[in-house]
Amino acid sequence: MVVKKTFLITGASGFIGRNLCEFLIKKKHIVYAISEKDDLCLKSLGVIFIKNKWDEIEKIKTSVKKFNIIIHCAANPVFGNGDEYYKINYLKTKKIIKFFEKKNPLIKFIFLSSIGAVDRDKKDNCSKELNENSVAVPTTDYGKSKLLIEEFLEKSILETISIRPSLVIGEQMRSNSHFSVFSKKIIKKKIFSYFDWTGKMSILDVRDLVSAIYFLSIKKNKRKSEIFFCAGQIICLIDFMKLINPKITFIKISDILRKINLKIFNLPFKIRALILPALVASDQKLINLGWKKKYNAKDTLRTIIKKENYLIDPIQYPPPSGITLITGASSGLGKEFLYKLARVRDKIIVIDKDIRPIKKFAKKFKDKIKLIKADLSNTESLESLIFNGYLSKYKISEAFLCAGIAHKSKLLDTNYKIHEKIFKINFLSSLIIINKAYTDMNYLNYGNIVIINSSSSFQPLPHLLSYSASKVALKFLGQGMAIENENSNIKILNVYPGGMKTNFQRNSNVKIIKNEKLLSTTYVYTETMKALKNKKKNLIVGFNAKVMFYASKFIPELLLLKFFNILMKKLR
């Protein structure tokens, strides 16, 4: 039985840090994280957040003597050159080490280093795997900063472990990381993908790295300070490229480049890594202690490929994990999304008050579609369902928010409860679901949220005031989120269709005009998915919707309001 320990994690919100925290919580340990802001997903798991910058640890008010182990994951993680690597990865980490030497010398310090701390000498023909005894000749300022900390820890009074991971992979990895970048280049058929890159690399599933970190953290050191490689599995770049395109024909270039490197001049390390086994390492020392790899890294690569395919083309490809959530799918546009996506998605969950119209269809996809009968206007019940009930078991990787209601009448001629219901369904239910979806997507490091709004959000609509007001609130929410997340893999698309051929008019007490040209739901679905693929933030669908948008920009507001007041009274 493992004794419960108290861990302190820096960089807990990063790719490795998140997986590590989740692992430790499952092992029933106490986990603290130093961060300037809470990570909602980790907090829900039970991680305790200390509000502080990781490099200003001397300012934390909690007692540092209660920590048994610190795992230092925080750093500038991008390979490259520049003074910031020395300042962030070395000087600031050095300050943390000195702090614990003074305040809690009994703590065990685990440092997440890198294979980049070693690299290869220019004359190294890469015939041998890197190991703990290899001569360290880092080729980047990033690698040099990691090596400096390793050397500093060798002299520390703390019990320390430096772990050198190889290339770490996982579904949640950043899109600018090695194999994610390779995947995009090959999927998009960039020039890079046509050459026979014969370089071999050690790749490591993040879950195996996390288990190794934990294994070493609770095992007593043989020496005061030790270094371990955690290498994983070897893969040739050609084999990886064939996972994406088995029929690919390569232009032979690696043999030529190897001869140039051997006989004429030394090529840059990045090129050598593409043609030689430059980034192959051995974790035999770690294995000899009793640690074992659990995951097949090739399967993980397939997940990354699936993720990049989805991010490039969400029309054709499903997300690699998580669920597709659709609201308002029993009729109209929501039903269109359900019928079309059922054929290209792995797991769909529908939330709707009336699921009878789609029960027969759902039975055809019984392993794929789950129908949940729920009233979106009952916000307390919805919150319980999402955060504590059935949906809490799943991570939402994409959401299509199609539910909406309206009621045509003068504001004061309508019962307050109807106005309240309109706001709860049109705005609050979306806000609740977005809260859950965004938290899940932040954890997965990707996702799509499609908010089906209305051209009614472009200006107040007399006789549909609560409806248009709720849609304005939704517009502000969606557009603000789209900007907040524009540099991330979480995309928010706001869709503003004009009138569609649905039951909306009949259900909303709005007159149906004979021979009125309304948009088909198929057309709106198609345009929406195209916009999603093209990573648009806003989409106005239909001529009438565009007229309403531009009218709101160029026609005086009072004049426009009077026009719509007459229009709604006489025609609607």
The HSE-up count of residue 53 (CA atoms within 13 Å, CB side) is 6
The DSSP code for 264 is I
Task: Tell me if residue 188 falls in helix, strand or coil.
Answer: coil
- Give the containing element (helix H, strand E) for 22: helix 15-26
* Residue where the block lists tokens 């991971």: 165
Reference 489, options 437, 526, 531, 535; nearest CA is 535
C-alpha 355/C-alpha 400 separation (Å) is: 17
Reference 65, options 26, 116, 38, 99; nearest CA is 99
* Residue where the block lists tokens 């007459």: 566
CATH of span 75-306: 3.40.50.720
C-alpha 43/C-alpha 163 separation (Å) is: 26
Domain ranges of the chain: 75-306, 315-570
- Which residues, listed in sequence order, are joined to residue 539 by a DSSP beta bridge? 495
Q: pLDDT per position in the chain (572 positions), as tens?
A: 668 999 999 999 899 999 999 999 999 999 999 988 878 888 888 999 998 888 888 888 888 899 999 999 998 877 677 888 999 899 999 999 999 999 999 999 999 999 999 999 888 888 899 999 999 999 999 999 999 999 999 999 999 999 999 999 999 998 888 899 999 999 999 998 889 999 999 999 999 999 999 999 999 998 999 999 999 999 999 999 999 988 888 999 998 998 888 877 788 888 999 999 999 999 999 999 999 999 999 999 999 999 999 999 999 999 999 999 999 999 999 999 999 999 999 999 999 999 999 999 999 998 899 999 999 999 999 999 999 899 999 999 999 999 988 777 777 777 889 889 999 999 999 999 999 999 999 999 999 999 999 988 888 877 778 888 999 999 999 999 999 988 888 999 999 998 877 766 666 566 666 666 788 999 999 999 999 999 999 999 999 889 888 888 888 877 777 777 677 666 55
First to last CA, the chain: 72
Find all residues with CB under 8 Å of 306, minimum gap 6, and list them: 317, 318, 319, 320
With vertex at residue 484, the alpha carbon angle to CA 479 and CA 486, rounded to the nearest 5 degrees, is 90
The CATH architecture to which 315-570 belongs is 3-Layer(aba) Sandwich (3.40)
> Is 315-570 the same fold as 75-306?
yes
**Confidence (pTM):** 0.88
Tokens matching residue 291: 């640690």
Sheet holding 167-169, edge to edge: 167-169, 200-205, 233-236
Sheet holding 490-497, edge to edge: 369-373, 348-352, 323-327, 396-401, 447-452, 490-497, 538-541
